[in-house]
Structure 1
Amino acid sequence: MKSFVSCLLLISQVAFRPALAQTPRPSTATTAQQRPNFVLIVGDDHDLSAVGCYGNRSVKTPNLDYLAKEGVRFTRAYATTSSCSPSRSTLLSGRHNHNNGQYGLAHATHHFRSHEGLKTMPALLHNAGYTTARIGKYHVAPASSYPFDEALSEDGSNPVKMANQCVTFLENNRSKPFFLYFCTTDPHRAGSNKNLPYEANPHGNKPNGHEGVTETLYGMDSLRVPYFLPDAPETKAELAQYYQSVSRMDQGIGRLFDLLKEKGLWDNTIVIYLSDNGMPVPGAKTTHYEPGVRLPLIVRNPYSTRKNQVCDELVSWVDVAPTLLDFAGLNPPVLAAANRPQGGGEYGERGPTDYFHGKSWKPYFDRINGTNPASFKGDTVFLSHTFHEVTMYYPMRSVVTKRYKLIWNVAHDLPFPFAADLWNSATWQGFLKSGKTQYGQRSKDAYVRRPAFELYDLEKDPQERTNLADSKPHKAVYDTLLASLRNFQEVTNDPWRVKWTHE
């Protein structure tokens, strides 16, 4: 309990830290040396269970496995929301989506957009002398709040082709720092060919396959079904094509690694791989359960001696922006008092809060006096989800510690909504036709109808089967986490904090 209370005190202290300048400035420690390049690779709907180096012996991901051997594999890394646009907005802004305005998907009729004038990571790196480029899936808005110097391509369907399209950019930036945002659409479901069980940009959608890609095919009968899904033929068929798309993405990542080495950039480029949210099936994507938000994070820092190591500290996607700025030797911006209107900051914060909601985990890679590892502790992360599609209103706010997770289902009176691609998945449709009532580790009713609060002991119950919210022996834990969650909402100006008093 001491760590929970310490977390509360830390958040409260951050909430009243004096505000300084808005623009990041190089720190004196790094101005005399070359700043690192950054390559941030984002997989689409890539589940933690679908990576070789995370223990899956069935799926073939040799290049991600190589990255892990060259760097650090994080085991407790969380997307703050299991939905594409909100998750990516958090990555690039360092601010929770309930604060940056990207409440749901940016495209089509959903049309969610972040606040104009948001100071995001690509803009801050550009202002500090970095050349920034993006390729593949973008899926945030407006472009003025997430600006890049170059958009190399909007098509993320062929990861190998994407890598080859980066050649000129890499060549032109061999002598100056750059930030490359590399976002595949694999292994996201394509949803165009109704005759295919998964439709994740599959080989079958193209008569000659994907240009430059050697497809890896999987036999469905040999695959182990993750615990959160029903063990059924439809599930295994989807899983086989899902793994195929994961391997295709991995092949494109390998090609990008080759190009970085060919251009002499590998040894001064920090490479980060992560996913935006969990697998596109009910039970994972759009939920705050572990399969939806606990995701792969692999980091290779060529300047660090940490190789082939595992970090079990808790981190989340709001940490990515402050971490990269820290690696670049930049002081992160904080809200300026002059721009703080009465009653709140630039984005409504209650008091002079830090600009980023996350923390830098760069100290994990640092050394003190050349020998001793610098200390880094991450014992608490917060999660925030409101929409996926515009018709999918189901706000959730959660706090995760080393041992426990508390989920507040704000609109718990509503049935849990289904994203179109999840509802139409072969896994879910097969389950409905089967007439069975148990879906993975939950009953259908428990998945659709949820209580106001869910408390799980992740140490004893990693599959989140037993809700302890009403358990008397866990009342102290529940009360402490609830207070921490409410304080988090106040500090980050969560509009849904009014639900505590209005409803």
Structure 2
Amino acid sequence: MIALLSSVVLLPFALAATKAPNIVLMVADDHGREVFGAYGNKVIRTPHLDQLAVEGARFNNAYGTTASCSASRSVLLTGLHNHKNGQYGHEHGYHHFRTFNDIKSLPVRLSEAGYRTARVGKYHIGPAAVYKFDKVLNDFKGTNDDGSRNTIGMAHAAKKFISAKTDKPFFLYVATNDPHRDHSFNTLGDNTFGNKRDNGEGMARLDYKPEEVEVPDYLPDTPETRRELTELYQSVSRVDDTAGELVKQLKEAGVYDNTLFIYLSDNGTAMPGAKTTIYEPGVKLPLIVRLPEAYEFSSGKVLDEMVSWPDITPTILDVAGVKYSQQDFHGRSFKGVIQGKANTKEWNEVYGSHTFHEITMYYPMRMVRKGKYKLIWNIASGLDYPFASDLFISSTWQSAINRNLNKFGARTLDAYIHRPKFELYNVEIDPAEGNNLADNADYQAIKQELMTKLKAFQEHTEDPWVVKWNYE
């Protein structure tokens, strides 16, 4: 739901070591729900993350607002949709999308409230002055520049920060590069997802086998897909190792019980049909939240309320007791949802806003889901849907082309590339989003209602692309 303009202000928490909670926000890169034990995958091994779900709350309807790394992270750390904060797409290199200088981010707000702040691993947002952390924990080596594929190294780098003897609480932002694709391929031509190369040994170096993986409904069940999923599983298991080591560090420091631990992903899996799309596999994501022991809540909860990434910053501030105005954010705190103190009917609406991934991938889309219905507005309908470079060269996609497959998931290959102006789905009975109801005469009232909501959302959040309703 859109955060309505109001003057709600939360009272500040007394920042004493015995009261103010510590905060760990762990963000994986491209971790879809379909490769997560707690979300139903019976093959993937994610014991530490599954245990967090047992101790905390698991959200069944948690949504990223855009399926692109930089843009999504900007939403997480500002509480604002990327069309408002300015981070329309990738920050690094020649893409050079940047958040506006006047935006006040989560780490800055927490630092001003007396928190120690630190980050470790992937950053991928900017400028640094907007997303300012007190410390960058980089005194370890990894297989990539920021060490974000060094599973144990990232957690060990945080040990001194976590265990520091001080009255100040801490905010630790942990961002793995796993299970993002990398730039290496095994001897079979499949992407390794950051795993060690096989040196001619095929799949022998992996803990999973192609024949045992679960192929999600948005992908074709081909040998190439299964081999890439095997690589993906291995990368996800490293993310789980990171989470387990972090929890171990928190317990050894004696601060685990007084720590808010949030685990989520920036966007869906790096596979065609998920990442860079706002179809369900791209934006319906894992979210596990464990509140500190002092907060009244039932562990092991499975929540169906709809929340989205603009809600993360106000939720963290709410739990921390840091003063803010609701007008500062597009999202709102879902602490009351976890504690069973919220009206479920008020949490049945989410919005999405995607414009760029790489700078060459202009394809703005806006999305609203209310209840069981979801409307996508493909603002650039008429253009071919652009591919992220790593998805286009994936053996999963190339095998679909080489095998002349008619279908890719619930839609044809042609329908994946050439998208209509509007897509309307009943995701309750059609979770694969294969039956577009936008032109069905029986659903025009629903379509019109959601179009009206979408335009109101754009106006309220000052979306520059709202002008496209009138001008092409």
What's the TM-score once normalised by structure 1's chain length? 0.87
Could you tell me which residue of structure 1 aligns to residue 333 of structure 2? 360
1:327 is aligned to 319
Equivalent pair of 2:10/2:324 in contact (CA under 8 Å): no
Check conservation: 1:80, 1:385, Cα contact below 8 A: yes
* 1:502 aligns to 2:440 (yes or no): no
Match 1:477 to one of 446, 455, 470: 446
- The letter for the 2-side match of 1:422 is L
- Rounded Cα–Cα distance in structure 1 between residues aligned with 2:354 and 2:239: 27
For the 8 Å contact 2:15–2:114, the answer to whether it is kept is no
Residue 407 (1) aligns with residue 376 (2): yes
* 1:309 counterpart residue number: 301
On the 8 A contact 2:13/2:322 being kept in 1, the answer is: no
Change (3 A) 1:311 1:26: closer
Q: Which residue of 1 aligns with 2:141?
A: none
How far apart, CA to CA, are the structure 2 residues paired with 1:28 and 1:34?
A: 12
The AA in structure 2 aligned to 1:268 is N
1:396 aligns with 2:386: no
Query: C-alpha distance in 1, partners of 2:199/2:83?
Result: 39
User: Structure 1's 333 and 147: CA in aligned 2 closer, same or farther, altered over 3 A?
Assistant: farther
1:415 CA drift (Å): 0.6
Identify the residue that residue 448 of structure 1 maps to in structure 2.
Answer: 417
CA deviation profile, 1:171-192 (whole Å, cap 9, x unmatched): 2156421110000000001113
Q: 235, 242, 266: which one pairs with 1:245? A: 235
Q: Deviations over 1:20-72 (max 9, x none)?
A: 9xxxx871675686111110001110010100011000100000100000010
Deviations 1:384-423 (A, max 9, x none): 0000000000000000122110000000010100000000
Task: State which drifts further: 468-477 or 30-39.
Answer: 30-39
Give the Cα–Cα distance (whole angstroms) in 2 for the partners of residues 296 and 310 of structure 1. 12
Aligned to 1:370: none
- Residue aligning to 1:468: 437
Is the Cα–Cα contact under 8 Å of residues 148 and 176 in structure 2 kept in the other structure? yes
Q: 1:29 to 1:224 in 2, by over 3 A?
A: closer
Instruction: Identify the range of structure 1 (177-186 vs 299-308) with the bigger mean alpha-carbon deviation.
Output: 299-308
1:298 is matched with 288
Match of 1:234 in 2: 224
Alpha-carbon offset, residue 222 of structure 1? 1.4
State the AA in 2 paired with 1:231.
D
Deviation, structure 1 residue 205: 7.2
Report if the CA contact (8 A) 2:15-2:168 is conserved.
no
Closer/same/farther in 2, CA of residues 255 and 399 from structure 1, 3 Å limit? same
Q: How does 1:55-454 map to 2 (within 5 A)?
A: 55-153=40-138, 154-172=146-164, 175-193=167-185, 195=187, 197-204=190-197, 217-302=207-292, 303-333=295-325, 354-366=327-339, 373-376=341-344, 377-454=346-423
Change (3 A) 1:29 1:264: closer
Unaligned runs of 5+ in 1: 1-6, 208-214, 335-353, 368-372
Which residue among 16, 36, 48 is the counterpart of 2:21? 36
Q: Is the 8 A contact 2:57 2:338 kept in 1?
A: no
State the Cα distance separating 1:239 from its structure 2 match: 0.3
Cα 1:28–1:245 shift into 2, 3 Å: closer
Q: 1:364 to 1:262 in 2, by over 3 A?
A: same
Code of the residue aligned with 1:362 in structure 2: it is K
Say which SS state the counterpart of residue 204 (structure 1) adopts.
coil
**Aligned residue in 2 for 1:27:** 11
Change (3 A) 1:177 1:433: same
CA RMSD across the alignment: 1.9
From the superposition, tell whether residues 70 and 445 of structure 1 become closer, same or farther in structure 2 (CA, over 3 Å). same
Per-residue CA deviations over 1:421-451 (Å, capped at 9, x if unaligned) read 0001110111111122211211001000000
Does residue 51 in structure 1 map to residue 36 in structure 2?
A: yes
2:451 aligns to what SS in structure 1? helix
CA contact (8 A) 1:68 1:300 kept: yes
For 1:441 and 1:461, locate their aligned partners in 2 and report how far apart those are by CA, in whole Å: 10
Q: Residue type matched to 2:158 in 1?
A: C
**Deviations 1:228-284, CA, capped at 9 Å, x for gaps:** 001000000000010000001101110111010000010000100000011111110
Could you tell me whether the CA contact under 8 Å between 1:407 and 1:454 is conserved in 2? yes
Distance in structure 2 (CA, Å) of the matches to 1:457 and 1:65: 29
Q: Is the 8 A contact 1:174 1:265 kept in 2?
A: no
Assess if the C-alpha contact under 8 Å between 2:13 and 2:20 holds in 1: no
Query: What letter corresponds to residue 451 of structure 2 in structure 1?
Result: L
| Structure 2: segments with no counterpart, 5+ residues | 139-145
Range that drifts further, 224-233 or 28-37: 28-37
Q: 1:69·1:308 contact (CA, 8 Å) conserved in 2?
A: yes
Aligned 8 A contact 2:62 2:286 in 1: yes
CA contact (8 A) 2:206 2:231 kept: no
Is this contact kept in 1: 2:298–2:339, CA < 8 A? no
Q: 1:446 to 1:89 in 2, by over 3 A?
A: same
Structure 1 residues 171, 31: CA separation in 2 closer, same or farther (over 3 Å shift)? closer
- SS state at 2:120 partner: strand
**Among the aligned pairs, what percent are the same residue?**
48
Paired residues of 1:117 and 1:144 also in contact (CA < 8 A): no
Once the two structures are TM-superposed, the CA of residue 285 in structure 1 deviates from its matched residue by: 0.4
Which runs of 4 or more aligned residues in structure 1 lie more than 6 Å from their structure 2 counterparts after TM superposition? none
Secondary structure in 2 matching 1:310: strand
- Offset of residue 194 of structure 1: 6.0
